[in-house]
Amino acid sequence: MHPLTPTTLTLLAAASSSAFATQYLTAEQAQQTIFPEANRFKPQPLQLSAEQMKLVETLAGLPARSVSWRVTAAYQDEKLLGYVVLDDVIGKFELISYAVGLLPDASVRQIEILAYRESHGFEIRNANWRRQFAGKTAAQGIAVGEGIANISGATLSCTHVTDGVRRIAAIARIALKK
């Protein structure tokens, strides 16, 4: 039997922490899934001003967290269909990568989980849970227990993704709404 050296232990710890990581969709696949009728996607990185960040915090009831956001506009020919915003939130210990599709009126069209790295709580990828967000805006019903159901065993994942979607919906209302 080989002795466990500090290097071996480090490698084992790194391997075990990522053993549950699952990549479901790329950003491009999420865009196509959320806006299948789009024939063009245009990156539209968003920089929030200090004033916009304060408005987002007030509307979402959460810190705006960042001035820079990864946004892509979806078009069918010249018609703006909406936006896809990419984000990451912490689950219990690891990041959850997700995409939020928004309509031009800043309502949520759809959310997609891109990557899930936790050992528990992957049920947030369930279509029925994600469907709860459709049609909601930052001002209405984007909170666990208030329009979004919790999933037993996935409480932190549900809460953190829901908070992230509420933040993005607030950003859409403040900075993207047409």
Q: What is the pLDDT of residues 109-118, one digit of tens each?
A: 999 999 998 8
pTM: 0.87
Report pLDDT for 3: 55
Residue pLDDT, tens place only, 46-105: 999 999 999 999 999 999 899 999 999 999 999 999 999 999 999 888 899 999 999 999
**pLDDT range class, residue 153, cuts 50, 70, 90:** confident
Residue 21, classed as helix, strand or coil, is: coil
- Res. 19: pLDDT tops 60: no
Total structural domains in the chain? 1
129 Cβ neighbours under 8 A, 6+ residues apart: 123, 149, 151, 158
User: Is residue 4 in a domain?
Assistant: no
What confidence score (pLDDT) does residue 43 get? 98
User: Is 64 among the domain residues?
Assistant: yes
Question: Which two tokens mark 9?
Answer: 């232990």
HSE-up (13 A, CA, CB side) for residue 129: 22
Mean pLDDT over 103-130 rounds to 92
- Given a contact cutoff of 8 angstroms between Cβ atoms, the answer to whether 23 and 66 are in contact is no
Q: Is there a domain that residue 10 lies in?
A: no
Specify if 2 maps to a domain: no
Q: Is residue 1 part of a domain?
A: no
Domain hosting 150: range is: 21-176
Q: For residues 82 and 71, what is the distance between their CA atoms, to the nearest angstrom?
A: 10
Please, which pLDDT band fits residue 18 given cuts at 50, 70 and 90? very low
